A and B are shown apart, each in its own frame.
Chain A
Amino acid sequence: MSVVVLKNVKKSFGSLPVLHGVSFAVAKGEVLALIGASGSGKSTALRCIDRLEIVDSGEIEVCGHMVHDPGLDLRRLRLDVGIVFQSYNLFPHLTIKENVTLAPRSVKKLDRRAADEIAMQSLQKVGLAEKADNYPEQLSGGQQQRAAIARSLAMEPKVMLFDEVTSALDPKLTGEVLKVIEALAASGMTMIMVTHEMGFARRVADQVVFMHEGLVHEAGSADILTNPSTPELREFVSNDL
């Protein structure tokens, strides 16, 4: 059964059409890598899934929520979906632990003890338990990004969206973040990740979707990265080498 389904999704910004009818689906426990050149509409597709952008037409279903429906219960959608951005977006006035407990406490109304427990569990998953009382500015970029992942995990989402979460990091810090995501994939989390890390996509993705000019140009198993059938994907992959 699919956790996320996009059917012929179209989206324009003003007079600029960005998504021209995008369709793909992600099954429970599956990892989908969304790849493509900059400007091909990957972020926009991801943002539509979490209703940060509203589609012009087409359908998006996420964990049973009809995201394209104007009457959607946004709060319940966001409870089921976690999203992590390239720019971490931690709350600078809160410690790492407070960043992680904020939503469990104010949205799920957990008491301090229960929230702290969940926070420490998710910080442990990303290897940051000992940084719980630090402020974001005291952490490296890789640590901040892992903290952002922990903050999302603490809400126990059913699906996680990652938008180029390592693009701002140097190779060493990239590795530590990818390791966390890989472990998450192994634990059975359903994920859609926009990534430029082709080696990582090959290793972790069950499904690869290549976007080109606002359309799904080629899709399949991770094998398409080794044996692309369209010239566009072939060029995209060769640029990466």
Chain B
Amino acid sequence: MNTAINSGHLVFLLNGAMWTLVLSLLAFAGGGLGGFVVALGRTSPIKVLRILSSAYVQLIQGTPLLVILFLTFFGLPTLGFSITPLFAAALSLTIYVSAYLGEIWRGCIESVPKAQWEAAECLALSRVQRMFKVILPQAVRIATPPTVGFSVQIIKNTSLASVVGFVELARAGQLINNSIFEPFAIYMIVALLYFCLCFPVSALSKRLERTGAARLRTLKAASA
């Protein structure tokens, strides 16, 4: 019973794309918050925090996202938590993104010259003041292009949520294909929709990288 793609299918796909976007935003918000904590832990003067956050990063970076997803979706219910596919997907992505963003941001914090810490220290600023008023504002500028770039990975990785039955864009395409079997046409549309979500973000990242590099060049020229 093959039928052609109709407008109902398109609406279904667009709805899926909307859920992809929602999931991406949840993952970015949760992962951003977690990543901030991880980055602070990785750069902390307290050894226990450094060890804990580093172990977390190693563990998560060494585990496929798919396995994290299975653990939350199938594992948590066996411990007595009832869990929806959306919640499982958002939680898994948050755990996953926290580790990667945390590592990216740690690098950015550490790339602020040590002399900046020292100058702030000599002005009697406390450690927290040094971090929040001197180091982080500079780290944020360094971090913006790679963070935006990583957001593209987040959007694409949300497609894994389809395996636990969450109807985002990839799953929506699969469901339509199951009923009308037009894989080529359907997945072309799905790919196009992913492109529409990712392209603006990656274009922004490219632009930020360019202006950042240009800014660095003028800074170097000025100090030379």
Contact A78 B137 (CB under 8 A): no
Q: Which residue of B lies closest to A104 (CB)?
A: B123
B118 CB-CB contact with A under 8 Å: yes
The one of B113, B116, B122 that contacts A83, using a Cβ cutoff of 8 Å = B122
Across the A-B interface, how many residue pairs have beta carbons closer than 8 Å?
Answer: 56
Cβ–Cβ < 8 Å partners of B118 in chain A: 52, 85, 89
* A85-B123 CB under 8 A given contacts A91-B134, A93-B137, A137-B222: no
* A155-B222 CB under 8 A given contacts A52-B118, A91-B116, A92-B138: no
Please measure, in the bound complex, the distance between the C-alpha atom of A107 and the C-alpha atom of B134, giving whole angstroms. 13
B110 CB-CB contact with A under 8 Å: no
Determine which residue in A50, A83, A89 has the highest number of CB atoms from chain B within 10 A of its CB, and name it.
A89
Cβ–Cβ < 8 Å partners of A219 in chain B: none
Q: Which residue of A lies closest to B128 (CB)?
A: A106
Contact A78 B122 (CB under 8 A): yes
Contact A107 B123 (CB under 8 A): yes
Q: Which residue of A lies closest to B115 (CB)?
A: A89
A75 CB-CB contact with B under 8 Å: yes
Cβ–Cβ < 8 Å partners of A85 in chain B: 115, 118-119
Against B, the Cβ 8 Å flags (1 = close, 0 = not) of A78-101 are 110111010101111100000000
B141 CB-CB contact with A under 8 Å: yes
Cβ–Cβ < 8 Å partners of A106 in chain B: 125, 129, 133
Contact B124 A103 (CB under 8 A): yes
A102 CB-CB contact with B under 8 Å: yes
Please measure, in the bound complex, the distance between the C-alpha atom of A115 and the C-alpha atom of B1, giving whole angstroms. 78
Cβ–Cβ < 8 Å partners of A89 in chain B: 113, 115-116, 118-119
Cβ–Cβ < 8 Å partners of B115 in chain A: 85, 87, 89
The one of A52, A93, A155 that contacts B138, using a Cβ cutoff of 8 Å = A93
Cβ–Cβ < 8 Å partners of B119 in chain A: 85, 89-91
Minimum C-beta distance from B29 to chain A (A): 25
Q: Which residue of A lies closest to B218 (CB)?
A: A137
Q: Which residue of B lies closest to A90 (CB)?
A: B119
Cβ–Cβ < 8 Å partners of B137 in chain A: 93
A68 CB-CB contact with B under 8 Å: no
Minimum C-beta distance from B128 to chain A (A): 10
Please measure, in the bound complex, the distance between the C-alpha atom of A189 and the C-alpha atom of B157, giving whole angstroms. 62
Please measure, in the bound complex, the distance between the C-alpha atom of A106 and the C-alpha atom of B119, giving whole angstroms. 14
B219 CB-CB contact with A under 8 Å: yes
A11 CB-CB contact with B under 8 Å: no
Q: Which residue of B lies closest to A168 (CB)?
A: B223
Please measure, in the bound complex, the distance between the C-alpha atom of A152 and the C-alpha atom of B121, giving whole angstroms. 12
Contact B134 A155 (CB under 8 A): no
Contact A103 B125 (CB under 8 A): yes
* A93-B125 CB under 8 A given contacts A87-B115, A106-B133: no
The one of A92, A107, A137 that contacts B125, using a Cβ cutoff of 8 Å = A107
A10 CB-CB contact with B under 8 Å: no
Binding site for A on B (CB under 8 A): 113, 115-116, 118-126, 129, 133-134, 137-138, 141, 219, 222-223
Kindly list 19 other residue pairs between chains A and B, CB separation below 8 angstroms, not including A93-B137, A93-B141: A52-B121, A52-B122, A75-B124, A75-B126, A78-B121, A82-B122, A83-B122, A85-B118, A85-B119, A89-B115, A91-B134, A91-B138, A102-B123, A102-B133, A103-B123, A103-B124, A103-B125, A107-B126, A155-B124
List 8 A-B pairs, minimum CB-CB distance, nearest first.
A78-B124, A89-B119, A103-B123, A107-B124, A89-B115, A93-B137, A83-B122, A106-B129
Could you show 27 A-B contacts with beta carbons less than 8 Å apart? A50-B122, A52-B122, A75-B124, A78-B121, A78-B122, A78-B123, A79-B124, A82-B122, A85-B115, A85-B119, A89-B119, A90-B119, A91-B116, A91-B119, A91-B138, A93-B138, A102-B133, A102-B134, A103-B124, A106-B133, A107-B125, A107-B126, A137-B222, A151-B123, A152-B122, A152-B123, A155-B123
